Amino acid sequence: MAQGTSAFTMTTLERKRVEKFRRKDKDSRVYARLSALLWVADGRPAEEVAALLGVCPRTVGNWLALYRAGGLDLLRRLDYQGDPG
């Protein structure tokens, strides 16, 4: 299992908010990140989600970690540089 994907769940309100942003966002990279959240929350393994999106499972885990750390605002930022250490 990829890092950060164990027991990922979303409330109904969180899910509706993610779906709203996914419908409105024009950037395919953000769309992929939001789709990954929804699919993992539905119980799909990170490996399957990664294959559907053409990324590695670690990337899916990183996206989930971003969401957990900063919510949708951080996940939707494409200029995120990571933890400076």
Higher pLDDT, 57 or 8: 57
Dump pLDDT digits (tens) for 41-80.
Answer: 999 999 999 999 999 999 999 999 999 999 999 999 987 5
Instruction: Work out the burial of residue 1: count CB atoms within 10 Å of its CB; fewer than 13 is exposed, 13-18 middle, 19 or more buried.
Output: exposed
Contact 15, 39 (CB under 8 A): no
Q: What is the pLDDT, as a whole number, of residue 82? A: 63
Q: Considering Cα of 30, then 66, then 72, then 57, what sign does the dihedral take?
A: positive
pLDDT over 90 (residue 4): no
Q: How confident is the model at residue 84 (pLDDT cuts 50, 70, 90)?
A: low
Instruction: List the chain domain ranges.
Output: 12-76
Q: How confident is the model at residue 7 (pLDDT cuts 50, 70, 90)?
A: confident
